[in-house]
Chain A
Amino acid sequence: MNGKFALEARNVSKHFGGVIAASEVNLQVSPGELRCIIGPNGAGKSTLFALLCGIQRAESGDIFIHEHNVTQMQPFKRIRLGVGLTFQTTRAFQDLSVRRNLAIPNPNLAVYKEGHQRGAKRLQIALEGFGLDPSDDTRAGELPHHKLQWLAISMVLAGYPDTVLIDEPTAGMSRDETDRTTEVLKQLNAHGLTIVVVEHDMHFVKSVAEKVTVLHQGRIFMEGNVAEVTANEDVKKIYLGHAH
């Protein structure tokens, strides 16, 4: 894979009014990694994704995708460098069929064309793992919640990215559905996909990730392997709302 890091943020800051959404954030994600980002509500997790993809512009600092400085780039150009993104609120095209939804992402827009074979393989893994039929004419808006989530993830893979940012993939899912999501994400990672995932569910975090980043009040609070982080007293405190 290209470059030392698939994704990198250097000293990235962003404010909304008086609220600090990101403050001097430094993040490095290596190719092939599966990274979890955790933190209490309002810690700036979704903002970090938005900054990485260019939906929000950083006020200071730099962002790199595969060693390209993308800080001033429009979102669609960053995506073409091989990044995929899902949103916290599930966003598929409700009025289009499952088939049409999966046809919208176009792998030919990606810059890294050598990844096509692997991209197709990963898409196949996702569709099979999630039990989605790519020729299904059902309107996306009629799918049950968890299927819609799975469709949203599969759509991202249909663009053949090498790195994906997934925001709360298991929100609102049952235990079985969560486990199935976990299983598919692990398989995708095993097939070389770099995954950064924001999640609240600690059961999910423990079962997928090796390395965890804790965000708190827009800052990186801690970074380490799952055991270290979950054992840390300060992390427990910020989740219970005692740390300052």
Chain B
Amino acid sequence: MSSKILSLIGGDADVGTSRIFWVGFVIVVILFALYPTQASEFRASNVAYYLLNIPLGLGMALLWGYCGVLSFGHVAYFGIAGYAYGIIAGNMAGNSFGPIAGVLGGLLASALVAGIFAYFVFYARVREWIIPILTLVLTLLLETFLGQTAGYQWRVGSVLLGGYNGMTGIPSFQIGSFVFMGYSFYYFCMVIVLVCYVSLRMLVNSNFGQVVFAIQQDPLRTETFGYDIRARQWLVFVLSAILASVSGLLYVQWGNYITPSQVGLLSAALPVIWASVGGRTSLLAVVIATIVLNWVTFTLSAQGNQYAMVIIGSALVITMLFFPRGIVIMAAEWIGRFTNRPTKSTGG
């Protein structure tokens, strides 16, 4: 049983199957765990921000890289979860179960919207370019809607939606009386990111994941083996929306606010860029790209850089032109060629 789980985690559906890789992986995890002992709470909190975006990036890799379905609007689920958490936890302020109810409500709301949306696009068997467009339209409409919710008449219970200024004063996450803030929030993010990565790695190595990958390679062929590919695409879409929601929940718990720009055009571009630059066919490559690119954009925007969108757009164009499989993946292959170590498959 446990050997089966290990072989699922270590399977060849993601890069890195050698013993050396896993030693390196553990060392990196330990370094991240030790980081707060060497850094101020402010810096740890910044790194927590890079980490909390990873589930969103992983969702993109799963959906686009492994399933072949592109979404330009997964930030919509990020936003829906964030706003729903704010509404529920905000209304239950003072109740220690509020944040947990907010998390559940946020995940549920996102999954519901994603499920209805995905039903229409997948069960209609639409052409593949239609999905990115409709997802983009959905998130832009959500931004427009949230943007016009300024004023006192737009409130749910005691929580104001806040229009373009956004929702503020969102409660942090807590279990019992323990509130996750600063260092503890950093570790909270780290654990969730690790759980997401490891369980997704198991998923893509499982039979389910292999069939999903087969759908990406040749949908018709997969269907002629008796698979209802619509149902699987639907499930993967909802799953990736839930991953986006996890990031959205962590985001509002981290900053205690959310604005409509989180579901706007620029934000919508970000996960696509993380997946493209990293290499969408590898979960790990996307994780690396998400951390690095968030660090870059965070640094840029902290300086109020007005070139941010130009830089991000150019990065996308250059990656698609010259590194179509992703910079991280192509760099890893390049390094692999030099060390010339045949990666042995341990997959089951």
Contacts and interface: CB of A to CB of B under 8 A. Distances in A.
A92 B218 CA distance: 8
Nearest to A152: B221
Looking at chain A's contact residues, the main secondary structure is loop
B214 A104 contact: yes
A75 B229 CA distance: 10
A74 B336 CA distance: 45
Contact of A110 (B221, B226, B229): B226
Most buried by A among B224, B225, B227: B224
A59 B223 CA distance: 22
Given A91-B218, A91-B221, A93-B218, A79 B210 contact: no
B220 A55 contact: yes
B49 interface: no
Nearest to B225: A105
Interface string B212-223: 011001101111
Contacts of B207: 103, 106
A60 to B, nearest CB: 22
A118 interface: no
B222 A104 contact: yes
A212 interface: no
A55 B229 CA distance: 13
A96 B214 contact: yes
Nearest to A140: B217
A104 B213 CA distance: 10
Contacts, number: 60
A110 B345 CA distance: 31
Given A55-B220, A91-B218, A137-B345, A96 B210 contact: yes
B224 A79 contact: yes
Interface residues of B, number: 18
A93 B221 contact: yes
B12 to A, nearest CB: 8
B333 interface: no
Contacts of A106: 207, 211, 225-227
Among B211, B225, B229, B345, residue most surrounded by chain A Cβ atoms (within 10 Å): B225
Interface centre among B214, B226, B228 (most CB of A within 10 A): B226
A100 B214 CA distance: 10
Contact of B221 (A74, A87, A95, A137): A87
A53 B224 contact: yes
Interface string B187-218: 00000000000000000000100110110011
A113 to B, nearest CB: 13
Nearest to A104: B214
B217 A95 contact: yes
Contacts of A110: 226
A96 B226 contact: no
A76 B223 contact: yes
B244 to A, nearest CB: 26
A100 B210 CA distance: 8
Nearest to A79: B226
A105 B222 CA distance: 8
B345 to A, nearest CB: 6
A185 B333 CA distance: 42
Contacts of B223: 75-76, 79
A110 B227 CA distance: 10
A87 B345 CA distance: 31
A105 B226 contact: yes
Nearest to B217: A93
Contacts of B227: 76, 106, 109
Interface string B46-67: 0000000000000000000000
A95 B228 CA distance: 21
Interface of B: 207, 210-211, 213-214, 217-218, 220-229, 345
Given A87-B221, A104-B222, A159-B226, 18 more contacts: A76-B224, A76-B227, A79-B226, A80-B226, A91-B220, A91-B221, A92-B221, A93-B214, A95-B213, A96-B214, A100-B210, A103-B207, A104-B211, A104-B225, A106-B207, A106-B226, A137-B345, A159-B225
11 contacts: A55-B220, A75-B220, A76-B224, A84-B224, A91-B220, A94-B217, A95-B213, A95-B217, A103-B207, A106-B227, A110-B226
Interface of A: 53, 55, 74-76, 79-80, 84-85, 87, 91-96, 100, 103-106, 109-110, 137, 155, 159
Which 6 interchain pairs have the tightest Cβ spacing? A109-B226, A79-B226, A105-B225, A91-B221, A93-B217, A80-B226
